[in-house]
Amino acid sequence: MTSQATPDAPPVPRTLWGYLDTHRRVAPSRTALVHPDGRMSYVELCADAEALALGLLDIGARPGDTISYQMPNWAETVLIALAALRIGAICNPIVSIYRSREVTFLLKDARSRFVFVPQTYRGFGYAEMIAPIARANGAQMIVCRGGYPDALGFDALLARGRELLVQGGAGRFHETDPTKDALFLYTSGTEGQPKGVRHSQTTLLSEARSVLRATRIGPDDTLFMGSPLTHITGFAYACIAGPVQGLKVCLLDIWDIHEAARLIAREQCVWTVGATPFLQGLLADPQMADDIRSLRIFRCGGADVPPSLIRKAQARGIRAMRTYGCSEHPTISGGVDDDPAKAATTDGKVHAQNRVRIVDLDDESRILGPGAIGEIQSRGDEVFLGYVDSRLDAAAFTPDGWLRTGDLGHLDAENYVTVVGRKKDIIIRKGENISAKEVEDLVAELPQVRQCAVIGVPDGERGEMMVAVCVLEPDTSLSLDQVAAHLTQAGIARQKYPERLEILEVMPANAAGKIRKVDLRAMFSPPADR
């Protein structure tokens, strides 16, 4: 499970389990995971993950199978991810806000053979929702913390795996190919359907090593993780980077800013990564200052980050920085060695192993110089392999192999990148990417609506607020409650519901009749942060 290195350096593991094998041998009692119901050492984490892997093998799982899971930030979620990687299967995390419409598409597109869900979580019946979808797609459902007719139970599967482990079942494990698919992560597509991003263990480990270097994190530093493990952030940091470094990862499953602060204080968490609202919440209450005293590094991204927020965190002794990335290229820039002033006004210095160029919007063969705004294109060892739907790959990559990020920005002479907008039509709300077109198409089904444009405008709490701007048919009316009722009937996640409705008599448009969303954003945005 290791690659060759120089005679003076130990070999670098080629798989995540190469790292985990080392940690359980060298530091078996070191705490690996603090979760809502307790904690696990590295030897315990590895034993249970291997037991779950054997349980999966026992019910027919094989290398290359897709194992989906729509799970909270529980210990079981980490075990599912590690077990899948142990047998060379493909992790397919599904964000918990998704409902029947999105889950149906994902399970079919990912060709899922197994899907893990809680029976219920926060009052919602996940097993009841997913059972018919799993049956229709030939996937075996496995229920955590409860049960459901015709479903397997997580605890029973783990118990069976433990029996097999005692009987010598570890001999069934073989070295996995780190270049094969290891993760299918779905991101909102700009054309309405989610896109499955394919990563290998090689790309994921490269991402982890790059982040750990840029953040100067060691095995004695503790990570707080409140971001969902089913997002690229939670998965890459808690399930990959944490085990790579052998550090302690602390999970929060139900978001509460005061509980987050208490967990940070109790476990002396040193670093975290999260969206803008999380950092804003931690800094808003002066009484939290003592609780978060141990926190010294905050990587902030996923939504617009006001410069004043970074400066406020820095004044409190937190090395906060804007960071830039996407599911296709998870962490492109931002590190603790960046100029603190530029950490507030740019999205960070490009990581040493990555490359970024800015190209002309009308001629991408023309590379622009420092300060010029164009499309951001990137390269690096952690860039994804391509999409599950390979027909999308041609649009994602240039002929010479650079990733078209779809973001607009510029580079300065010191290689700091600044994102100024997006070519792709997405809204980032509380760190969640939402396709504007998907919501527009659904709202446009209402008989009152002649035209609909969905935009994101800056919002202090959410990062971006979703605004539906509509032109109505003559002699009709429309309320936000009617829009919400229609979207509920369509079966999409509540996260995608507009929070604001604006009615216009006519949309601003260009000469070709295309709606000018830049004008709509200017019309409905609050004053910008300075």
- Per the CB < 8 A criterion, the answer to whether 160 and 55 are in contact is yes
The β-bridge partners of 152 are 142
Give the residue ranges of the chain where pLDDT is below 70: 1-9, 189-192, 302-304, 422, 510-514, 528-530
Encoded amino acid at 525, one letter: S
Q: Are residues 460 and 495 in the same domain?
A: yes
Q: Residue 163: which CATH number?
A: 3.40.50.980
- Name the strand (E) or helix (H) holding 209: helix 201-215
Cα distance between residue 496 and residue 432, in whole Å? 9
Residues 52 and 191 in one domain: yes
Interstrand relation of 271-274 and 222-225 (parallel, antiparallel or unpaired): parallel
Which residue in the block uniquely carries the two structure tokens 């009937």?
A: 489
Taking each helix axis as running N to C, give the angle between helix 154-166 and helix 42-58, from 0 to 180 degrees, rounded to the nearest 10.
100
CA distances from residue 466 to 285, 327, 501 in whole angstroms, order as listed: 26, 21, 9
Rounded Cα distance, 308 and 297, in Å: 17
- CA 83, CA 263: separation in Å to the nearest integer? 27
Query: 200, 229, 246: which is the final residue of a domain?
Result: 200
pLDDT of residue 529: 45
* Exposed / middle / buried, residue 423 (Cβ in 10 Å: 0-12, 13-18, 19+): middle
Contacts of 212 (CB under 8 A, 6+ apart): 241, 244, 245
Whether 218 maps to a domain, the answer reads no
CATH of the domain at 330: 3.40.50.12780
- Asked whether residue 372 falls in the same domain as residue 399, the answer is yes
In a domain, 445, yes or no: yes
Label the pairing between strands 355-359 and 374-379: antiparallel
Asked, for residue 358, whether it belongs to a domain, the answer is yes
Domain carrying residue 126: 16-21+38-200
Provide the residue count of the chain.
530
Q: Which two tokens stand for residue 110?
A: 């990912």
What pLDDT does 362 receive?
Answer: 82
Domain assignment present for 146:
yes
In a domain, 98, yes or no: yes
93/160 same-domain check: yes
Residues 6+ apart with CB under 8 A from 135: none
Residue with the two structure tokens 């990912």: 110
What CATH number has the domain bearing residue 455?
3.30.300.30
Same domain, 286 and 405: yes
Tokens for 121? 């979580």
Beta strands 403-411; 417-422: pairing state: antiparallel
Task: Note the helical H segments in 235-337.
Answer: 242-245, 257-267, 276-284, 307-315
Residue 396 lies in a domain: yes
472 and 416 housed in the same domain: no
> E strands, 280-366, where?
297-300, 319-322, 355-359
Residue 29 belongs to a domain:
no
Sign of CA dihedral 211, 212, 213, 217: positive
Same-domain pairing of 458 and 392: no
Same domain, yes or no: 472 and 519: yes
| Closest residue by Cα to residue 330 from 389, 364, 272, 381 | 381
Question: Which one of 400, 422, 444 terminates a domain?
Answer: 422
- Cβ-Cβ contacts under 8 Å for 481 (sequence gap 6 or more): none
> What H or E segment, with its residue span, contains residue 324?
none
Domain tally for the chain?
Answer: 3
Amino acid at 363: D
Amino acid type, 126: Y
Same domain, 335 and 451: no
Cβ neighbourhood burial of 440 (10 Å; 0-12, 13-18, 19+): buried
Q: Are residues 148 and 57 in the same domain?
A: yes
- Environment class of 64 (CB within 10 Å of its CB; exposed 0-12, middle 13-18, buried 19+): middle
Is there a single domain that holds both residue 411 and residue 262?
A: yes
Within 11-41, residue ranges assigned H as helices are 16-26
Q: Are strands 66-69 and 112-118 parallel, antiparallel or unpaired?
A: parallel
Contact 501, 478 (CB under 8 A): yes
User: Is residue 478 included in any domain, yes or no?
Assistant: yes
How far apart, in whole angstroms, are the C-alpha atoms of residue 157 and residue 134?
18
Domain final residue pick, 200, 220, 245: 200
Structure-block tokens of residue 184: 């299918």
**Whether residue 363 sits in one domain with residue 413:** yes
What gap in Å lies between CA 262 and CA 311, rounded to an integer? 24
